[in-house]
Amino acid sequence: MARVLVAMSGGVDSSVTAVLLREAGHEVVGVTLLLRDDVPPETEMAASAQEVCARLGVPHHVIPCQQLFRQVVVDDFIRAYAQGTTPNPCLVCNRDIKFRLLTEYAPRFHCDTIATGHYARIVSLSGPEGEGRGPSAGLSPLPPPPAPQTGYALLRGADRAKDQSYVLAMLQQPDLARIRFPLGALTKATVREVARRYQLDVAERPESQDICFIPDRDYRRFLAATAPWIFRPGPIRDQEGREIGQHRGLPGYTVGQRKGLGIASSRPLFVSEIDPVHNALVVGPLEATLRREMLIEQVSFVSGQWPDAPFPCLVQVRAHAPPFEAVVTPLEGRRATVAFAAPQRAITPDRGPPSTIPRLWGCGPGGWVYRWRDRMMSHLDPALVLLLLITTACATGAHVLWGAPGCNCRCSGWRQRWGACWPMSLVGPARSISRCPPVSRCSKRYLRRGW
């Protein structure tokens, strides 16, 4: 039997994780990571975890890491919103705090493996299966895995409503080899029943919130209180670039948002784009929020092997969203394009890693949404135009269009000669050349500035 280091938050999931491992005959060591600065809740969490460990007769340790959590997770959360993107703090925490520290401290506590209360499964593609790694009773049998049949596969949790494989897509083969997810084959109801059977006080504890450092779930209030300087009022523009209102600060809005825009219109308007370069909010009808393709970066394949050809799969772009059919095309530089079979609504850059689920087998790569195709405004200094033309337009297939800030030009760069409305912007879809304003209204204005 193994000696397992169990991450214990004081909740029902991590407590039952320790119970199941102890029940299976493993030697358990509990550890609580103190993450937040709000001392009373953190103290209660550690006390609850210590109580469970005492009942099980296992040791318990507390690791203070508030400063690291603040620098790595909270500051990144604020910085992402300041840059006009939507962060996923849970994934950053899993990748850079929890699993990193658990891996670092396991040898110090003489532990062979680590375990958490995540609802996901790990199966070995060769050799015997361990607890929390393979399918158990009540789950449909897995089809034969694709080649190569070595290493480990990350599977979705049996309880689809609680599945957390989305925020675990960054795990690699060495991680999967030493991690256990005992709850992966269980439902939440079963977990609570186990807690009641062991008479644990946490059995009826409410679900934890998605963002642990924002207890009331009001991220706008949190940002306004901790980083008010990132809220800069600016213009609200329609799809043609006309200013139709004023926003109160880009961090207060998300792509796809309809309510709270403060705009009078004869038809519903939705946020279709957040433009941090010009501090502008772009709105339009519902169809303006639909995207057929997106580019993802920092792609991480669970298998550790980079495919050499496009492959069909199911793609999940939000933690609690259903997966959709798509084709993923790997690119150089840890990037890939994702082409959906049907347009998807409100894809937000930097929201988190779109977990891909190859048909019939496990979870594939994850990566951060860098940009979506069909419309992307990003006006650049002309000195960078040629470089962007080579690295972005050619490599990623983004539409190359022209238009100066405040200009309504939407002309295709492949059909328009140099010198006509620049600097370059990535916008789209391409519209008629006849809509270009005269050169005197656009590019000459920039040429006079010495560009």
Give the confidence band of 321 by pLDDT, cuts at 50, 70, 90: confident
406, 451, 411: which is closest to 279 by C-alpha? 406
With a cut of 50, say whether residue 347 has pLDDT above it: yes
User: 197 is written with which tokens?
Assistant: 């059977």
297 and 315, same structural domain? yes
33 and 8, same structural domain? yes
Concatenate the DSSP letters of all residues of 362-376 into one string: ----EEEEEEESS--
pLDDT digits (tens, 9 = 90+) for 291-319: 899 888 888 888 888 888 999 988 888 77
Q: Give the range with max mean pLDDT: 39-53, 88-102, 404-418, 434-448.
A: 88-102
306: containing domain? 288-372
Active site includes 90?
no
137 and 46, same structural domain? yes
User: 239 is written with which tokens?
Assistant: 């799809």
The catalytic position among 111, 212, 411, 421 is 212
In a domain, 150, yes or no: yes
Which among 339, 372, 405 is the end of a domain?
372
Cα(339)–Cα(83) distance, integer angstroms: 25
Output the domain CATH number for residue 165. 3.40.50.620
State how many domains the chain has: 4
153 and 250, same structural domain? no
183 and 57, same structural domain? yes
Concatenate the DSSP letters of all residues of 106-171 into one string: TTTTT-SEEE---SEEEEESSSPPPTTTS--TTSPPPPPPPSP--SEEEEE-SSTTT--GGGGTT-
58 and 123, same structural domain? yes
Cβ-contact 202, 52 below 8 angstroms: yes
Q: For 440, phi and psi rounded to 5 degrees?
A: -65, -25
Which residue type, as a one-letter code, is found at position 161?
Answer: A
Judging by beta carbons within 10 Å of its beta carbon (0-12, 13-18, 19+), is residue 450 exposed, middle or buried? exposed
For the chain, counts of helices (H) and of strands (E): 12, 20
Q: For 123, phi and psi rounded to 5 degrees?
A: -125, 145
Q: What is the pLDDT of residue 151?
A: 87
Active site includes 212?
yes
312 and 171, same structural domain? no
Which among 350, 372, 394 is the end of a domain?
372
DSSP 96: I
74, 83, 68, 80: which is closest to 33 by C-alpha? 68
pLDDT digits (tens, 9 = 90+) for 137-166: 333 344 444 444 578 999 989 998 899 888
With a cut of 60, say whether residue 17 has pLDDT above it: yes
Q: What is the pLDDT of residue 421?
A: 33
Concatenate the DSSP letters of all residues of 379-419 into one string: ---GGGHHHHIIIIIIHH----EE--TT----EETTTS-TT
The catalytic position among 93, 407, 436, 442 is 93
